[in-house]
């Protein structure tokens, strides 16, 4: 048991040691900051096709995209509302008529009472 | 005599080139404002000034020169597009390096080549060189090049986040806070990723050692 744990410890120690050596080796790699000749010209050529970010255009595009689902929802609701009123119309036409009459005459009734 | 004259001329040319791309902070601010007001051509001097730094950063994460050039190009185009979001309180260089590191990270994530399980492309002699690294104070150029290649090969096997953390924390010696600022990760996430990265690297080294003796 003791021998096995010593073996594992030694292995770990060795791995740590190699890891440290790897990091030290990586630190010693000199930075290569060489640039290809006229590289900035290449980027500038690319930039001519790049348009600056226009926030108004982004908003307009977003709103335009949102308009289509909004219209679709509106149409659905309108259709649903129209269909539901036509089916209920016959059943509740009398009730609606009396309610309308009651609403229209309500102010006059109130006036009569106050006289 | 003639050779000395040539050297002097070359020296003058080099100094001229260096001066041409040297910028102080006020000049830098003026250039940025000019670019923001539509003078795109002014951006060229910013590229000329900062490209060596950006190239050095990109070369830490990509090996092929064509890939490095693509990354650098993407960094400068991104910087140009986002220039209106740059706040002048912090140095432009810090802001640019943040974009550079994040672009390199995106590149690593897109081009994950660390799925290789076999170590066949790593030479045994090169790994042995690493085992005795540091004992030889003045390694030959060939030895140093072999070690550099080995370091790249081993780092390539790490997951993108692990490679990023090991490069920034262990190799470049940046603090956890600095890394958090650069990458946009939280301090605790950097710590967790650093722990996992070291563990992953040790596992790779252990696997290589095991394969070596099979």
User: What is the share, in percent, of chain B residues with pLDDT greater than 90?
Assistant: 45
Place of tokens 């990586």: A26
Of the partner residues A18, A35, A50, the one whose CB lies closest to the CB of residue B51: A35
ipTM of the prediction: 0.74
> Taking CB atoms and an 8 Å limit, are A40 and B41 in contact across chains?
no
> Taking CB atoms and an 8 Å limit, are B77 and A47 in contact across chains?
yes
What's the DSSP call for residue B121?
T
Contact partners, residue B5, CB within 8 Å, separation at least 6: none
pLDDT band (50, 70, 90) for residue B15: very low
Nearest residue of chain B to residue A17 (CA atoms): B131
End-to-end, the C-alpha distance of chain A in Å comes to: 110
- Dump pLDDT digits (tens) for A5-16: 777 777 777 777
User: Please, are residues A25 and B147 in contact by the beta-carbon 8 Å criterion?
Assistant: yes
User: Please, are residues B105 and B60 in contact by the beta-carbon 8 Å criterion?
Assistant: no
Residue B158 pLDDT greater than 60, yes or no: yes
The continuous run of DSSP H or E covering A25 comes out as helix A2-27
Chain B residues inside the 8 Å CB shell of A34? 52, 55
- Dump pLDDT digits (tens) for B39-78: 888 999 999 999 999 999 999 999 899 999 999 999 999 9
Q: Is the pTM of this model over 0.80?
A: no
């Amino acid at each position: 048991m003791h021998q096995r744990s010593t073996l594992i410890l030694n292995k770990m120690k060795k791995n740590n040691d190699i890891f440290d050596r790897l990091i030290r080796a990586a630190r010693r790699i000199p930075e290569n900051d060489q640039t290809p000749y006229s590289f900035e010209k290449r980027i500038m050529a690319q930039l001519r096709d790049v348009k600056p970010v226009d926030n108004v255009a982004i908003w307009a595009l977003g709103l335009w995209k949102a308009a289509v689902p909004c219209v679709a929802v509106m149409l659905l609701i309108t259709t649903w509302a129209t269909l539901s009123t036509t089916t209920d119309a016959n059943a509740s036409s009398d009730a609606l008529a009396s309610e309308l009459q009651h609403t229209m005459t309500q102010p006059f009734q109130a006036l009569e009472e106050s006289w | 005599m003639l050779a000395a004259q040539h050297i002097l001329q070359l020296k003058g040319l080099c100094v001229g080139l260096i001066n041409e791309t040297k910028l102080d902070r006020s000049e830098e601010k003026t250039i940025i404002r000019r670019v923001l007001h539509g003078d795109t051509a002014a951006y060229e001097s910013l590229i000329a000034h900062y490209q060596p730094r950006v190239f050095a950063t990109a070369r830490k994460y990509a090996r092929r020169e064509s890939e490095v050039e693509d990354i650098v190009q993407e960094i400068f185009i991104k910087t140009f597009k986002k220039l209106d979001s740059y706040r002048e309180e912090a140095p432009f260089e810090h802001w640019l390096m943040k974009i550079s590191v994040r672009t390199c990270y995106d590149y690593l994530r897109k081009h994950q080549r660390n799925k290789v399980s076999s170590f066949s492309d790593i030479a045994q002699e090169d790994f042995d060189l690493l085992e005795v690294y540091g004992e030889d104070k003045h390694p030959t150029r060939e030895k140093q090049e072999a070690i550099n290649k080995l370091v790249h090969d081993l780092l390539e096997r790490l997951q993108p986040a692990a490679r990023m953390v090991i490069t920034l924390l262990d190799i470049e010696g940046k603090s956890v806070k600095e890394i958090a600022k650069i990458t946009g990760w939280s301090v605790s996430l950097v710590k967790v990723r650093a722990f996992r990265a070291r563990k992953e690297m040790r596992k790779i080294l252990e696997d290589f050692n095991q394969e070596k003796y099979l």
